[in-house]
Structure formats: C-alpha cells, structure tokens
Homo-oligomer: A and B are copies of this chain.
Amino acid sequence: MTPHAAAIDYARTHRKGAVEGLKRFVSFPSISAHPNRRADIRQCASWLVEHLTSIGMRRSRLIETGGSPIVSAEWRGAPNQPTLLIYGHYDVQPVDPLDEWQSDPFAPVVRDGYMYGRGASDDKGQLWTHVAALEAWLRSTGSMPLNVRCLFEGEEEIGSRHLMQFLKSRPREARADFAVISDMTMPSAGRPALTYALRGSLAFEITVEGPSRDLHAGMFGGVAPDPSRALAEIISGLFREDGRIAVGGVYDDVRVIEPRDRRWMASTPGTSDTEILRETGVTAVPGELGYTLYERQTSRPALTVNGITAGYQGVGAKSVIASRATAKLSMRLVSCQDPGRVQAAVKAHVMRYAPREFRVNVRFGASALPVEIDRGEPIQQAAMRALRRGFDESPSFIRSGGTVPIVNVLRNELGLPTVLMGFGLRTDNMHAPNERFLLSHLSRGTESAIWFLAEAARLKTTNFARVGGRPKVGTTCAILR
C-alpha cells in the first residue's frame, strides 16, 4: 500500500471519529465578537492545541496576542521537501437571533447528513478536514510527504487584526512555500472547486444623535428631530434607484469585467442566475443592470445594511423619539478598489447628506483588499488534481463574493501562493441561524486534503516567502489588468 493509500484508508475507517471530533470542536462557543466569550475562545484554542499534539503534530502551542490566542503547530520531518502552511480559524460568528435556531448552536447535532451548529461550516468543519488529513497521514504512515505548519486564528470574524500583526512582526513563523485555506464554498453539493477571487470589504457604523434624551413622541412629535428617521434617510441616500451605490467615487476604480473573464464566469458550473436566485429564497433580485447574478455577487461592489438599532424594540408599542440610532453596514470591494479611498468617499457622502440638526458619526471597522489569483500557479493546479481525486468529480475555478482578509497578507506581504479550497455551501447558513456542514464534504474534503499533501509534495520548493524577498504572486490588480 502506498503511503497516500494508507492515509486515505485511515480516513475512511475513522470517519466516525472525525465527526465526533468536529462535534466537540463546534461545541465551544468561541464567539470572537463577544468580549465575555474570551474564556470560551481560550478553552477552544487549548483543546485544539492538545488535539494537534495527540495526532502527532509538533510544537503545538498557543501564541498569545492582544486578543484571541493563535493556535500553532508544525511537522518538519521532510527536510528537502516544500512546506505547506495551513490556515483556518476557530472563532465563530455570534448566534443571534437565537430563537430561530432549531437546535442549540453549541450542541451540534447531525440531521439529514448535515452537522448543525455555529461554526460547523465557517470555519471549524472546513479547518477540520485538514486536521483529519494530518491525522490520517501521521497515524497511518508516521510521516508526511512534505512539511506542514498550522496557523489557526481566533479573530477571523472580527478582522484578524492580531494575526496580521503577528505575521508582519514574525514572518518566520509563517515561512512556507505555499498556503491553503478552506473557508469558502463550492458551487453545490459534491461539485468541488477552487476559489480564485475574493471580494474585499469595509465595515462601518453610522450613529445619529439628536435630542439629549429620549423624548415622548406625543409631546415632541413634529418638533424634535428624530434620529431614527434621519438614520433611515441617510441609509436610503446611500443607494440609487438603479441598484447602484450612490456614494460618489465608489465605482471609479472598479475594474471592468473583460470579455474573456465574462466567458469564463458564464461557463462556471452552479452559477446560473436560476441557481443563485434559488439560494436567496426570493423570487426576484433587482439590482445593477447589465450583469449576471454571479457577476453582481463576485465582481461588483455591494453595500449591505447588516443591522439597525433604534428606539423601542420590545413587544407592543412605545411612543418615543430615541435620542440616538445606529446602523452597521459593510461594503464589498472588488478589483481595483482601495478600502482607504472608499472609506473617504463613504465618510464624505454621509457627512454631506447628514442633516445639520443631528450629530452624525461614521466609524470604520475592519477592511480588506479584494483578491485575484492566477489560476495557472502550479500549486493551484496541484490542488485541482487533489480535488478531482477527493471528490471523484472535475473541479472548477470559481469566484467568491466573500472576504478572507488574511489572504492578502499571505499573498501580498509574505509572498505565499495561496490555495482557496472551500468545502462549504452557500446554503450552509454561515453567519445565520442553523449553520450546518455537509458530512459528505467532511469526508470528501479530508480525502482531498490528504491528496493535496501528496500533490503539493511533488512541487519543488518555490523559494517563495523567504524573509526579505517578496516575490510577486499577483497583487490585486496586477494579473487581470
């Protein structure tokens, strides 16, 4: 039996153990957005460290940061072989609205072939495919065909600030030849794909303050400025009737989709308007004219309102003019938009239209550049071969509308060719109630990850990512312009 056959064999006979391990992993309420979950974050990270040690990884440890600890581990038993960096995140999104969950988000259950729980798909389940692959190699053969570094962070859902600082200040800790991230989706169940483009993002919060205190809406209605109303008007003013974003300058740097890209996108499986429409759960999706839904989803900027908080939200009515109202929004960016320029444009737009009787503030949160990857990179082709074997299906290259901020650092700062090998589905309810992960993707993903180690091992060390030298692996706009 060849080593990789032994590893595959191990994975197949230990599927149940992988499911149980993932259940345990998902059961930690490691919500990074909630400061009161710091102990849960740490418990989750410590558990992961111990698990990595138990499967045979070395130097498995917590790296302290100003926030959630980074989980690091390595295996360097293949001295003349390249090194693969595996990135993942063990933190999860908040769970509210909790009452819409059909089962406890942190008591994972299997129903109809899916594991349900917060983080099941984003990103614990996807990260777990790689951990299961490492276990399969190490337990079945005592070795691996190449060197491996794991870096699993606990702040992806809040912007990866500390991991980025860590990578910038201690680049040797991420020294590798290439990286793999599984925190994306596939076109549909059983149809594997590599992601070759991500949108960037810019989060911001608009606060409108008016009266110095909440006022009785009867006594002051018609007189006192109403921050809730003003906020609604400001949000409304961010959009044009034709479906575009009204903020001046936002489209200035947006790369026109070239005919050859358009053709490529049109031939991508699972991305027809019909298929995307079905996933949204609505019958019509008016928006920017002249683009397919897949183009709007992955290659055009988008502005979404992620939350509005204003006034009385309890049962029944309360006749009040609230003194303040806030909205959380986020913009998705595409090549060649720059988050800094977009930020300035948003600020200027809101301030210009803010009624003078209010104190209006725009506070910006995490931002990330969009990503475009050259599909011809050797490591991408190696990953395609691995996916074909893992899923017994021809993989495709797809674009994602989502954002993984760390990809920019890995590629642009550390010069690592990075593989975006997603095992999730857009219908996995990531960031929503009833998040789930298809268990057949856990096993197929694990086998793909096992094959990926073998395929990547055949590549020469690239000499990428040597500290000091930063080879171009394609910055956001270099490839397609």
Given A223-B293, A317-B203, A319-B201, answer yes or no on A355-B308 (Cβ-Cβ < 8 Å).
no
Name the interface residues of A449-474: CB closer than 8 Å to any CB of B: none
- Residue from B216, B312, B355 within 8 A of A328 (CB atoms): B312
Name the interface residues of A173-232: CB closer than 8 Å to any CB of B: 185, 199, 201, 203, 205, 210-226, 228-229, 231-232
- Residue from B34, B222, B401 within 8 A of A401 (CB atoms): B222
Name the interface residues of A212-259: CB closer than 8 Å to any CB of B: 212-226, 228-229, 231-233, 235-237, 239
A304 contact set on B, CB distance < 8 A: 217, 221, 226, 228-229, 319, 321
A211 contact set on B, CB distance < 8 A: 280-282
- Residue from B158, B288, B312, B357 within 8 A of A96 (CB atoms): B312
In contact, A328 and B311 (Cβ under 8 angstroms): yes
Interface size class of A (residues with CB under 8 A): 35 or more
- What is the minimal beta-carbon distance from A39 to any residue of chain B, in angstroms? 17
**A307 located at the interface, meaning its Cβ lies under 8 Å from any Cβ of chain B in the complex:** yes
Given A231-B232, A432-B214, A433-B213, answer yes or no on A320-B308 (Cβ-Cβ < 8 Å).
no
**A79 located at the interface, meaning its Cβ lies under 8 Å from any Cβ of chain B in the complex:** no
CA distance A288 to B223 in the complex (A): 9
**A365 located at the interface, meaning its Cβ lies under 8 Å from any Cβ of chain B in the complex:** yes
Given A185-B219, A222-B301, answer yes or no on A308-B96 (Cβ-Cβ < 8 Å).
no
Residue of B nearest to A203 (CB): B317
Given A296-B223, A311-B308, answer yes or no on A356-B284 (Cβ-Cβ < 8 Å).
yes
A306 contact set on B, CB distance < 8 A: 217, 228, 311-312, 317-322
Secondary structure call for the A interface: loop
A309 contact set on B, CB distance < 8 A: 308-309, 313
CA distance A336 to B36 in the complex (A): 54
**A434 located at the interface, meaning its Cβ lies under 8 Å from any Cβ of chain B in the complex:** yes
Given A217-B431, A232-B305, answer yes or no on A282-B225 (Cβ-Cβ < 8 Å).
yes
A366 contact set on B, CB distance < 8 A: 317
Encode A322-347 as 1/0 by CB contact (under 8 A) with B: 11010110101000000000000000
Name the interface residues of A339-368: CB closer than 8 Å to any CB of B: 355-358, 365-366
Encode A269-281 as 1/0 by CB contact (under 8 A) with B: 0000000100111
**A290 located at the interface, meaning its Cβ lies under 8 Å from any Cβ of chain B in the complex:** no
In contact, B315 and A33 (Cβ under 8 angstroms): yes
CA distance A358 to B283 in the complex (A): 9
In contact, B214 and A431 (Cβ under 8 angstroms): yes
In contact, A221 and B315 (Cβ under 8 angstroms): no
A330 contact set on B, CB distance < 8 A: 217, 221, 317, 319
In contact, A432 and B313 (Cβ under 8 angstroms): no
- What is the minimal beta-carbon distance from A241 to any residue of chain B, in angstroms? 9
- What is the minimal beta-carbon distance from A430 to any residue of chain B, in angstroms? 5
Given A158-B316, A301-B222, A306-B228, answer yes or no on A214-B429 (Cβ-Cβ < 8 Å).
yes
Residue of B nearest to A294 (CB): B223
Interchain Cβ contacts under 8 Å between A and B, 12 examples: A32-B316, A34-B314, A35-B315, A94-B318, A159-B317, A203-B317, A211-B281, A215-B280, A220-B401, A223-B293, A225-B285, A306-B312
A contact residues vs B (CB 8 Å cutoff): 32-35, 93-94, 96-97, 100, 157-159, 185, 199, 201, 203, 205, 210-226, 228-229, 231-233, 235-237, 239, 276, 279-288, 293, 296-297, 300-323, 325, 327-328, 330, 332, 355-358, 365-366, 400-403, 426, 429-434
Q: A203-B319, A216-B402 are in contact. List 5 more A-B contacts (CB 8 A).
A: A33-B316, A225-B282, A226-B304, A229-B236, A306-B317
